[in-house]
């Protein structure tokens, strides 16, 4: 079996594993966000500043996970192009 083909299969496997794990993390984080939002809506004692801070935190982790995904996808693209040119 061709070494390029084996390496391509390994890259594809790792890429699929990352995608599945990433999607699971997104589902988990989105569910946690919905739960936190529900709790904050029902918590009359919670100051508005705290609610704004939590919302900013949510925006920050969403941006962070998107940045990580872009970085990992870029790495996979580089690995695939390296295999194709080798």
The pLDDT confidence band at residue 72, using thresholds 50, 70 and 90, is: very high
pLDDT tens profile 13-64: 999 999 999 999 999 999 999 998 999 889 888 898 988 999 999 999 999 9
Helix axes 3-42, 48-85, angle to 10 degrees: 170
Count of CB atoms situated within 10 Å of the CB of 42? 8
Q: Where are the domains of the chain?
A: 3-85
pLDDT for res 44:
85
pLDDT for res 71:
98
Structure token digits, residue 84: 């194709």
* 45 secondary structure, DSSP code: T
pLDDT for res 1:
65
CB–CB of 82/13 below 8 Å?
no
pTM of the model: 0.83
Cα separations (Å) of 53 from 10, 64, 84? 42, 16, 47
Look at the block and give the residue holding tokens 């390994």.
10
CB–CB of 40/55 below 8 Å?
no
């Amino acid at each position: 079996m061709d070494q390029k083909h084996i390496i391509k299969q390994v890259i594809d496997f790792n890429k699929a594993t990352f995608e599945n794990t990433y999607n699971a993390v997104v589902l988990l984080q989105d569910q946690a966000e919905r739960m936190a939002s529900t709790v904050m809506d029902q918590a009359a004692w919670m100051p508005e500043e705290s609610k704004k801070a939590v919302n900013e935190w949510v925006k920050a982790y969403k941006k962070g996970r998107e940045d990580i995904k872009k970085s990992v996808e870029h790495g996979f693209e580089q690995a695939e192009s390296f295999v194709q040119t080798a």
